[in-house]
Amino acid sequence: MNGRLQDKVALVTGAGRGFGSAIAIALADQGAHVAVHYHSSSAGAEQVAKTIRDKGRDAITVQGDISVWNDVKRLTAEVFQHFGHVDVLINNVGDMAPDQMSWRDISEERIDRILDVDIKGTMFMIHEVGIRMVERGSGAIVNIGSRVVAAGSPRSPQYAAAKYGVIGLTKSYARALAPAVRVNTLGPGFIETETTLNRADWKSGRREEILSQTPLQRLPQPEDLVGAVIFLASDDARHITGGFLICDGGLSMIGA
């Protein structure tokens, strides 16, 4: 059976581990060929690419720091040289300062890193891929945001600010790239990735606190949320652009 993204080409940032790797594999399960981006997780990216190839799909790995525009230009050129085009861009990379346990622990370096990766990096990726999508006449971009925009973050205010910035980018490019390209944001809550599980607060009661406040009474694995990404990337969401889809088990429950 053909998948919802049969023979489409997708580029996923931060796909060497965690949520990004689950997204890349899910895209392949839906029939897509995938460019697996990584910054430092070389071995993980290669394993993800191998898994995709084993499914009969084409896959390459591309390395780069998305907060550096020249890196983004280079890796984008590599992807387009190999595949010829990109139908789907998933901007998964994001830094949430997992080692920062309080707003009191702020530093200029931590602020700059999150804003550089989450805002500048996302913008660079949308710009370089989006302009080519417009020239081709079609495409879908899904930015991975966070439910933190609904609740704020007393732990890491700069992270909440950065994710608000992603929504600003989403709305702006949804207008700028229309009607050829759709741009949306997925807002997941807490996902039990390796990074989350290793956080100090997660090991000392934060997990239980979040779980007690979540109506669905469970915390998702990365694989539990990939369906929402597939939806936004596919023609099933063909009349949705500039949107924000929260996906946190009911934890935030925002109004219409």
Alpha-carbon gap, residue 14 to 248, rounded angstroms: 21
Flag whether 30 is in a domain.
yes
Q: How confident is the model at residue 122 (pLDDT cuts 50, 70, 90)?
A: very high
Q: Which two tokens stand for residue 248?
A: 């946190």
Instruction: Report pLDDT for 99.
Output: 72
We report the CATH number of the domain holding residue 69 as 3.40.50.720
**101 within domain boundaries:** yes
Instruction: Check residue 256 and give its pLDDT.
Output: 65
User: Residue 25 sits in which domain range?
Assistant: 9-244
Active site residues: 159
Assess if residue 254 is contained within a domain: no
Instruction: Indicate the range of 28-42, 188-202, 229-243 predicted with least confidence.
Output: 188-202
Q: pLDDT tens across 70-97, in order?
A: 999 999 999 999 999 999 999 999 876 7
User: Per the structure, how many domains does the chain have?
Assistant: 1
Percent with pLDDT over 70 in the chain:
98
Does 138 fall in a domain?
yes
31: left (phi over 0), alpha (psi -120 to 50) or beta: left
Q: What is the pLDDT of residues 191-229, one digit of tens each?
A: 887 777 777 777 778 889 888 989 999 888 999 999 999
How much of the chain, in percent, has pLDDT values that exceed 90?
76
Residue 255 in domain:
no
**Could you tell me if residue 252 is inside a domain?**
no
What is this structure's pTM?
Answer: 0.93
Q: Does the residue 25 lie in any domain?
A: yes
pLDDT band at 1 (very low <50, low <70, confident <90, very high): very low
110 part of a folded domain: yes
- Strand order through the sheet with 139-144: 59-63, 33-38, 9-12, 88-91, 139-144, 181-188, 244-247
Q: How confident is the model at residue 121 (pLDDT cuts 50, 70, 90)?
A: very high
Mean pLDDT of 37-62: 97
